């Protein structure tokens, strides 16, 4: 017998028929003798509708009231799933964030979890009751409902799994695991049976949409073994009932991975914009003068390249920001022009970031050189490069994205069984 937290996203609970299918997945685990808690998202499209209504009511609205509105979607799903489970003969009860409680900070609309008291829920689970928890929400210090931002139900599930001491957190979604790259671009992309927390964190932050970044961070910090699997598989399939390890991808500590590949996956993101400041005076404090105003405006800067002139008096500074912040970043830098002292500012949104990820890169030389050579052979120019122990990211022209992904996926043998 194990203690499980099962999380189901919006597409998995999009209508009553799909909620019934989710209930069958839950009932299977209960029948196997497991203690179960379930975290649910709002039904597909519901949150978008609630956000739209909020903005229609007022473009400049109180963040606390925004949370009061958008948290309703998960509340509806939790109640409907609890009712469906009860109708199937499963002892179930719905829980909202404040009832557990899930305590958060005061950043309404983008709150972070401070702590969870799982004692009452553990007691109910030990008595055989399924806890159906509304994801994406908690209670702020002002005792008002708070929400975690897009994808926040993933974070709820992992945090809850840590709080109740779950053996595993199963994230059910519309895909059957984590792939070596986007299967829509590379037909031979393979589903991985296991991936380390660090690799998944890099993939999630670099464009893979399977899990929210914060949920992976939390899983890594608390050691929550997280299993990505499909909610659209037949709940009564023998492959799920009898298999020691059902189809999916386990995100775990690298010590659990016996065979470590040099490269695990290729990620990409088209949500990038490039900004270049030309002929900046090369002197102490210039970088701070550029990046502090961006930080104050809550604009994340990623790749940074600096080219110093031959005489060392001037430099060109190039970096990337999220494409959604491109116009705002340029406006911030225009406002700081006199202080920074650059002579020209240039920007581009037709760029993409391609990343090679793998824990095996720590002990293997030449991985980056192989990538550079392969892209050069294909006529793909690299605008900027950043690296870490387990990642190489390259900024290229967006028009070459698919070609670059296919080239690198093949280069490292990821399309082979």
CA distances for 385 relative to 75, 111, 197, 296, angstroms:
44, 32, 23, 25
8 annotated as ligand-binding: yes
Largest CA distance in the chain: 79
283 annotated as ligand-binding: no
165 annotated as ligand-binding: no
- Where are the extended beta strands (E) located within 290-378? 304-308, 314-322, 344-357
386 annotated as ligand-binding: no
10 annotated as ligand-binding: yes
Torsion sign over Cα 72, 152, 189, 268: positive
d(CA 395, CA 373): 15
Q: Can you name the residues that pair with 113 across neighbouring β-strands?
A: 104
Q: Tokens for 164?
A: 């109740």
109 annotated as ligand-binding: no
104 annotated as ligand-binding: no
3-state secondary structure of 19: helix
270 annotated as ligand-binding: no
d(CA 167, CA 6): 11
7 annotated as ligand-binding: yes
296 annotated as ligand-binding: no
> How far is CA 184 from its chain centroid?
19
9 annotated as ligand-binding: yes
326 annotated as ligand-binding: no
Query: Residue 112: in which H helix or E strand, if any?
Result: none
Q: Tell me whether the omega of the peptide bond preceding residue 101 falls within 30 degrees of 0, making it cis.
A: yes
d(CA 43, CA 73): 7
Q: Can you name the residues that pair with 130 across neighbouring β-strands?
A: 92
Q: Tokens for 223?
A: 């050691």
Binding-site residues, in ranges, read 7-10, 47, 74, 173-174, 179, 184, 209-210
Binding-site residues for ATP, in ranges, read 7-10, 173-174, 179, 184, 209-210
Binding-site residues for substrate, in ranges, read 47, 74
């Amino acid at each position: 017998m194990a203690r499980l937290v099962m999380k189901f996203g919006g597409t998995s609970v999009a209508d009553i028929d799909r909620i019934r299918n989710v209930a069958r997945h839950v009932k299977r685990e209960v029948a196997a003798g497991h203690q179960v808690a379930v975290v649910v998202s709002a039904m597909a499209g519901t949150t978008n509708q609630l956000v739209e209504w909020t903005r229609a009511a007022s473009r400049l609205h109180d963040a606390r009231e925004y949370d009061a509105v958008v948290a309703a979607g998960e509340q509806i799903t939790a109640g409907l799933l609890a009712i469906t489970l009860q109708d199937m003969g499963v002892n179930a009860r719905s829980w909202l964030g404040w009832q557990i409680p899930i305590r958060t900070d005061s950043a309404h609309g983008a709150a972070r979890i401070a702590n969870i008291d799982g004692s009452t829920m553990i007691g109910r689970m030990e008595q055989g009751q399924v806890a159906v928890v509304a994801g994406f929400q908690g209670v702020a210090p002002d005792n008002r409902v708070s929400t975690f931002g897009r994808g926040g139900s993933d974070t709820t599930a992992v945090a809850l799994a840590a709080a109740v001491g779950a053996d595993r957190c199963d994230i059910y979604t519309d895909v059957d695991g984590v792939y070596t790259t986007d299967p829509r671009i590379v037909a031979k992309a393979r589903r991985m049976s296991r991936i380390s927390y660090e690799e998944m964190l890099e993939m999630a932050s670099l464009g893979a949409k399977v899990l929210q970044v914060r949920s992976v961070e939390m899983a890594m910090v608390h050691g929550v073994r997280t299993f990505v699997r499909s909610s659209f598989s037949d709940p009564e399939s023998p492959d799920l009932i009898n298999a020691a390890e059902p189809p999916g991808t386990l995100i775990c500590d690298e010590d659990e991975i016996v065979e470590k590949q040099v490269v695990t996956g290729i990620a990409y993101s088209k949500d990038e914009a490039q900004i270049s400041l030309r002929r900046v005076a090369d002197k102490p404090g210039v970088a701070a003068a550029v990046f502090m105003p961006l930080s104050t405006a809550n604009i994340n800067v990623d790749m940074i390249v600096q080219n110093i002139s031959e005489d060392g008096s001037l430099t060109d500074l190039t970096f990337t920001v999220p494409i959604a912040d491109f116009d705002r970043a340029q406006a911030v830098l225009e406002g700081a022009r006199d202080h920074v002292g650059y002579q020209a500012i240039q920007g581009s949104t037709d760029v993409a970031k391609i990343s090679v990820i793998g824990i095996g890169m720590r002990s293997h030389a030449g991985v980056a050189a192989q990538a550079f050579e392969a892209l050069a052979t294909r006529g793909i120019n690299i605008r900027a490069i950043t690296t870490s122990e387990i990642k190489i990211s390259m900024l290229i022209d967006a028009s070459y994205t698919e070609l670059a992904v296919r080239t690198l996926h093949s280069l490292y043998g990821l399309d082979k069984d």
